[in-house]
Structure 1
Amino acid sequence: MIDSKKNLFCRIGLLIFILILSFVFSISVYSFFESIFFEKLAVVMGVVTKDSRNLEIEIMNQLKFEHSKYASIGKGTLGKYGYNLDRFIFLKDRKKIIYISFLFSVLITSIFCIYMYISTRNKKKNAENLKNYLERINEGDYSLNLATDEDFSILSDELYKTVITLRELKEKAIQDKISLKDNIADISHQLKTPITAINIMSELIENNDSKDENKEYIYRLNKQAGRLETLTNSLLTISKLDAGTIKFKKDIVYIKDIIDLAIEPIMFLIEKKNIKLYIVGDNAIIKGDSYWLGEAFLNIIKNCIEHLEDNGEINLFIESNPIFTEVKIEDNGSGFLKEDLPHIFKRFYKGKNANKDSIGIGLSIAKSIIEKHNGEISVENKKEGGARFKIKFY
């Protein structure tokens, strides 16, 4: 709004300036020709006064010179009768001359206004065409058919080249993502078969071998096989999220139902460490996929459990307003080191206080899922100790 008013004042000021300039120019032109006419008239009067022989020839000869010796004589003669450059023979016509000069100025200004109007209209039309073209690009239509003037034609050509380059880069990036997803999926599926075989064989050995020493080795083998299976499943999930192949539902879901879904698979960990878990706040609703949101909350709550000692505490606070729904997940554990906080959601990042069996991928998956649901997540340390995750859904 301010820019529009500023542009309007600038245009009005420019028009006034052109009007004044045109008027001054026309008056200056009139004054210039008036002085020339007066000079030539003075030459004629000088010749007539000084030399009565061959007047026609002498007058024609003297008028050829820019400065004639008869000019001063003629000016003196004209001055005797009250005529000089300030009070010349055109004095009675000066008002008319001023009027004509003003009309000339208005004409020039009007022509300029018409030119500016046509030019501005064409620019607006071309700008509108470019805007519509960019909107079509956003919708996936890359065809270019813009009828513009020369300047905008150059811009359109450059824009078209840029669009083609961006389209090719986008298509290549999408293809690379799909290829990466397929490769990871293939690797994950290939790994699942030997992992399953290892689990079955270790279970058979465990059931048929009573030696305590062998049981310890079997326990370690099962633990590493389980860790490898978790990593395989996580990689598969990440590849799907990156490639955008997961079709998230948009159901109306209750936050508390999502939390219950998240807690169920890790309830044995909560009971094992005797952790107290409290849910405080309204049973707010959001739009989303309860399964995948449950996965996100599971990874966050599991991270809290890993940083808690026995008999620890986890609190979930739910708040909602017309703009967003917020869920805070807090624990009274050791929290995160300051240098770890900026990297918490990076893939495969393991902080110094992380569990040695942690893969470092759960929080990254949680962040991706939440962002796919038009949300955001952040983490901080509480002043009194422990960590606080803030999740907002808009």
Structure 2
Amino acid sequence: MSREPYPEVSVPRQFSRARLRSTAAVFTTMSALAATSLGTGHSAAGPDSAEPCALTRTDAHHSEGLDTWNAAYPRPARSLDAVMVFLSFPDARPLTTPQELTADHFPDTTRFFERASYGRFTLRSHPLGHWIQMPRPSTAYAIQRDWSAEHRAAYLRDALSAADPQVDFSRYDVVYFVADPDAPGVDSDATKVVNLTSPMRADGTDLRRVVTVFEQHPPDRLVLAHETGHVFDLPDLYHRPADGKGDWDTHVGDWDLMGSQFGLAPDLFGWHKWKLGWLNPRQVRCVQDAGPARLTLEPLAAAPGMPVSGAAGAPVLGLGRGTKLAVVRTGPDSVLAFEARGPVGNDTAACRQGVLVYRVRGEAQSGGGPIEVIDAHPRTEACWEDSVYPPLADAPIALGESFTVPGEGVRVEVEGRTASGAWTVKIMVR
């Protein structure tokens, strides 16, 4: 049976590393499970229910719809196990050890997801302690960013065949094939997730997707966390120019790992946390009625017991279980989302703090702008030395400011901060 793989295409690195990622948009998609509609039951939802704002999952690759979970992907709502298989080649002697390459990614990747999930998800790594040699030279696989299907399939087939006698794949939820970074045929641009229309089978287990790691040593920041996000059905959020040149970060800038692994505030959007099961419906406020709705938004990255700067600037405790996300339905397949972002948790290097506004489209493909940050300060930019896209670095609405979302008739006022560091917000839907 044909096992044609479909990759998450990677991003070239011949430009500034501060502006590029090692992954890019998917242009060929695997078949998704049929979307399940919310139906017509919205009238039964209570006034505080989040359900009316939950977009319906579509057959778009990595759809942002979250009314149901695509069972083809492991959901990170519990501990998952990941195996790291280290592949060497007969045309090169490794200059690094599996232990060194493991330390490039773990425990940092685990810690990122533990912080993002408020401790609700743990990614447990199980690295092999030795190299497994591939049957052919590294140059035989023509590894590159836009990898041919033939060479990519040959690489996966040989990797699985070489590793299977030593690895029980039935024990793992995630598979990382990590290539010797110094082998002559290895291209660090080629790191990506490979989706399979027909799964490979090993140890009685179907392998539907594999993360192929070709990273240099040391690797790009948070690259494995980004790729693992695809394993959990999260889309690429950056914009890929048609000619491969220009800015890749115009959609979301620094504000989500799936937009940029180099971002100053890479914590996952509240929408993604809702999708993954890390926010419960009580932490999501669906604003439906005309007129002002007042609510208190906790900093998105704050977990229970985590210190956050309060109104007076001093660290305080007590946040983590309140409202994290406000949503306004703007159409059958679109919403506006509002969340408080600031320098805490995965966002400690955030350029600016305040209430971030973004648009979500459930039918948009991965890489096709499923989420777009709306800039509350379109005439200015910030942190130009460090931000991946300075025009969006100051996108949040700051304390005391108001902002009307262009074309939507939705106005937001950030009225104050509580003693615990939460943000008091008024949202008016006309």
More strand by share: 2
Q: TM (normalized to structure 2)?
A: 0.22
Whose relative contact order is higher, 1 or 2, with alpha carbons under 8 Å and at least 6 apart? 2
Rg larger in 1 or in 2?
Answer: 1
More helix by share: 1
